[in-house]
Structure 1
């Protein structure tokens, strides 16, 4: 569930240039009043050879956006369209961010450095192109927690406070501002394909498919590359949907412009973690219909993949695309079972028995009123009947679970704690309050450290 992190020298490789001028627009970063470094992710900086930068050099590159050596000479605001809450919008694109650089990591994967809050672009519409400091802090917390729970996620690479006062309608204003840099395995979205399809540019579509296959998936194109790419994306995104569920995570805004072609979760706005297995739980106050509720996230991702298939019809016949889409339900179910077992800390006992255990776990969480903390307590050998209210559903789960051998060593110090590391909304607000009211960043850094310890414990399984 975890990618083994390997250090690497700095190896710039701006492959995006091979897609030509149609992929994005050259832009300039905003000239911020100040640049205070608040967070730098040296663990992931080491994977792309940037951990040796001094703080002042770090700020020059990730606060003032001086180009990295031998990399993109100027930032690119990427072009895309997208369905937003299933309403098609052709008037979007990178409105407050841009692609800043690309480099290889220790696994030879091409990784992007992209921004959030770096200023206006041709796609900003009426927005100011900025990011609130709270939004940046929340993105750090989301990405760190998801990474620790085995989710394929972007990494919060840098957060620099920028000294501007921002006015927002959905939080106390004026509020502090920041610019975030994230590390992603691609910023090519489903919406990127939608834009090219809307323009009817078959040559560009074929070029983009080839780029994604050969550069992002390291695959050799077959006789039907568009269907090949869709199959790969279906596999990755089905697993992403399963990982959200088992992490108890709600992204909140699963629009087609927020789903990238490599199945990596990114762009965190109104996200929440749920305490209970509640399919109706939503993250965004504006999601009044519950379109992106906890229990509907797999459906949303499958629907988005359908829009990718529609776009790929520009260069591919329908039958192989439909065949690829039809794989999603079984792939999602299999990935969910695999991730359930991983979080419970047990080895597979065969598909049929594994599904019974997963179903019993869900019944214990829904009908037995057991929080998602059940994963933690059972990984370390606890009995939920002693921790939570005893019910027939909990007893059923205990009986089935007892038949499973442990997956890994529960001897890591993390498993000795009385309660798991969590990320409920009250904790997020407390961390922000310390920063907002006292400029106290210690709770944030302590939480990141606690999350990483949890990730170490899980990575042993």
Structure 2
């Protein structure tokens, strides 16, 4: 057995924000998924099975396993005490925090069993690696362990553990909890830890405001990336928001199938609070909740400055991404480019075009030809001819082959559609890990063609357009 070289981290530096826990290992664990790329980055050289005991929560652990406490605004209402209810921190490796999600109950489980199941563990593993390889800030996943441990949900399922890897697990909710439970001195110590570890560039005369503006920028950047990629997080509660802007706490997430800005993947979100097109506004709403946790340090002028910075960062990042996807000329006419992009989204919505296949057509587009793959999708729309003329006026176009190659590496060929994840889950639950491995490899190379698996790039069948998802997904 090889042993992970785990080091102390935040929970040893600030023991007041966490409680020691004893992981409950899975019965007869086995490996379902393993990220060789991430393992290499972490300096792991042995075969993954040699780390299985530690990743299953059996130890040895040089530092005690811990669960953190925090609070958060959930669907708009404040819940004063949450925490890591189904997982534990086991230390740092290569400057990254390792977390075993599904390792049993903690003091914050609120009566739950503290377990994850194969479907939720695999979805997080595949999604976090997929977003990372799309260049979107995300927590990572080193491994998924399956088991024979029975877990009781709507039906009996089998327990699993996702080994989550993150630069920091600090959430907006950590600071909310300490502020609203009148532990301001500890909040300030946690702030100092975060400042020195991850925001050293914000040290100076006004560290609180500089730190907050940095969190604003990271949040806006990530949400802009989601909007450009057609990704819906599903549950943007403030306790699911990372101060580093990492995509975090995967649950009922989804990539769009048909272009539908109002799409809601979580069947529990009856009001559509966390719909795809609501994510930019919700990001700012959560940042306001974070600001309230530092109310004595911020005034109205800073909040207005932060709002302006949020909006500017989000728009500029979104335009940067979408310029690349469409091949647009960068210009100072922000509104003209936003109108052009919005016009395309509206046409794709009216024509019920597949979001990802629609954008992938730009990799095959010859802008000098009227008869082209994009026209075949959208030419029946009444706005097509007008849009096409405006688009050609704003193109950054040179050599056709080079232009198409650039579009190829801006518009992914493979994304983690819900039905692909479900197919991999069903195969894994029957003991066949091949599909998980092939899908994971394709998601790590999302812009390439995968001729052995053409269905990875196809639009889903009609039955899979809107598969229901829940917070346990």
Q: TM-score, normalising length from structure 2?
A: 0.84
Secondary structure of 1:329's counterpart equals helix
SS in 2 for 1:324: helix
Instruction: Tell me, yes or no, if structure 1 residue 399 matches structure 2 residue 383.
Output: no
Structure 2 counterpart of 1:38: 32
Query: Residues 314 and 58 (structure 1 numbering): CA distance in 2 closer, same or farther, change over 3 Å?
Result: farther
Q: CA deviation at 1:222?
A: 2.1
Q: Is the 8 A contact 2:363 2:406 kept in 1?
A: no
Q: Does 1:186 align with 2:176?
A: no
Residue 255 (str. 1) matches residue 249 (str. 2): no
Alignment of 1:3-402 (within 5 A): 14-17=8-11, 19-50=13-44, 52-67=45-60, 73-104=63-94, 110-169=95-154, 173-352=155-334, 353-372=336-355, 373-381=357-365, 383-402=373-392
Shift of the alpha carbon at 1:25?
Answer: 0.9
**CA offset at residue 143 of structure 1?**
1.6
**Distance in 2, Cα, partners of 1:206 & 1:396:** 56
C-alpha deviation, 1:410, in angstroms? 6.4
Aligned residues: 434
User: Which residue is 1:447 aligned to?
Assistant: 439
* Per-residue deviation, residues 337-367 of structure 1 (Å, max 9, x unmatched): 1121233355524443433432332233233
| More deviation, 89-98/347-356 | 347-356
Structure 1 residues 26 and 89: alpha-carbon distance in aligned structure 2, compared to 1, 3 A threshold:
same
Local SS of the residue matching 2:187: helix
CA distance in 2, matches of 1:81, 1:94: 10
Provide structure 1 residue ranges, at least 5 long, that are not aligned to the other structure. Answer: 1-9, 105-109
Tell me how far apart the structure 2 counterparts of residues 65 and 455 of structure 1 sit (CA, whole Å): 39
Listed one character per residue, the Cα deviations across residues 247-268 of structure 1 (whole Å, up to 9, x for unaligned) are 1111111111100100000111
* Partners of 1:30 and 1:18 in 2: CA distance: 21
Alpha-carbon distance in 2 for matches of 1:362, 1:63: 45
Task: Tell me if the contact between 1:82 and 1:90 (Cα under 8 Å) persists in the aligned partners.
Answer: yes
Q: 1:45 to 1:351 in 2, by over 3 A?
A: farther
RMSD of equivalent CA atoms: 2.7
* SS at 1:327 equivalent: helix
CA 1:277/1:414 → structure 2, altered by over 3 Å: closer, same or farther? closer
CA distance in 2, matches of 1:96, 1:375: 38
Asked if the contact 1:347/1:404 (under 8 Å) is kept, the reply is yes
Query: Quick one: structure 1 residues 376 and 397, their matched pair in 2 at CA, closer, same or farther if it must change by over 3 Å?
Result: farther
Map Cα deviations across residues 54-81 of structure 1 (whole Å, 9 max, x no partner).
333210221135256xxx6111201101
* Contact 2:347-2:378 within 8 A present in 1 as well: no
What is the CA-CA distance between 1:318 and the residue it aligns to?
4.9
Q: Rate the CA distance shift 1:456–1:308 in 2: closer, same or farther, 3 A.
A: farther
Given that 2:57 and 2:103 are in contact with CA atoms closer than 8 Å, whether structure 1 keeps it comes out as no
Change (3 A) 1:419 1:31: closer
**C-alpha spacing 1:351/1:19, structure 2 compared with 1 (3 Å):** farther
**1:413 and 1:303 mapped to 2: Cα distance?**
36
SS in 1 for 2:200: coil
**Structure 1 residues 299, 413: closer, same or farther in 2, change over 3 A?**
closer
Q: Distance in 1 between matches of 2:16 and 2:252?
A: 31
Q: Which residue of 2 aligns with 1:107?
A: none
Check whether the contact 2:84–2:108 (CA below 8 A) recurs between aligned residues: yes
Q: 1:11 to 1:37 in 2, by over 3 A?
A: closer
Note the alpha carbon deviations across 1:171-209, whole angstroms, 9 max, x for none.
xx1111101111112100000000110122222222222
- Mapped to 2, the partners of 1:176 and 1:409 lie a distance apart of 49
Name which of structure 1's ranges 404-413 and 82-91 shifts more when overlaid on structure 2: 404-413
CA contact (8 A) 2:150 2:157 kept: yes
Question: Is the Cα contact below 8 Å between 2:85 and 2:114 reproduced in 1?
Answer: yes
Distance 1:299 1:419 in 2: 26
Output the CA distance in 1 between the equivalents of 2:344 and 2:132: 23
Give the CA deviation at 1:274. Answer: 1.4
Q: Which runs of 5+ in 2 are unaligned?
A: 366-371, 450-473
Q: Report the TM-score when normalising by structure 1.
A: 0.86
1:262 alignment partner, SS class:
coil
Structure 2 distance, partners of 1:359, 1:282, is 20
- Aligned partner of 1:4 in structure 2 is none
- Give me the whole-angstrom Cα distance separating, in 1, the residues matched to 2:432 and 2:224: 36
